[in-house]
Amino acid sequence: MSSVQIDQAVPNFQLPSTSDTIFNLSDYKGKNVVVYFYPKDSTPGCTLEGQNFRDNITEFESHDTVIVGISRDSIRKHENFKAKQEFPFELLSDEEESACALFDVLHLKKNYGREYMGIVRSTFLIDKEGVLRQEWRKVKVKEHLAEVLEAVKAL
Q: Which helix (H) or strand (E) holds 47?
A: helix 44-55
pLDDT at residue 15 greater than cutoff 70: yes
Q: Does domain 14-154 have CATH number 3.30.70.20?
A: no
Average of pLDDT values for 5-9?
94
Model confidence pLDDT, tens digit, residues 79-91? 999 999 999 999 9
Sequence ranges of the domains in the chain: 14-154
Q: Catalytic site residue 46?
A: yes
pLDDT at residue 1 greater than cutoff 60: no
Model confidence pLDDT, tens digit, residues 61-85? 999 999 999 999 999 999 999 999 9
Please identify which of the residues 15, 25, 46, 120 carries the catalytic annotation.
Answer: 46
Distance of CA 123 to the CA centre of its chain: 6
- Angle (CA) 67-106-126 rounded to 5° is 30
Q: Which helix (H) or strand (E) holds 138?
A: none
Q: Taken in order 37, 42, 46, 51, is the CA torsion positive or negative?
A: positive
What's the mean pLDDT when you consider all of the chain? 94
pLDDT at residue 6 greater than cutoff 70: yes
pLDDT at residue 44 greater than cutoff 70: yes
Please report the pLDDT score of residue 2 as a whole number. Answer: 63
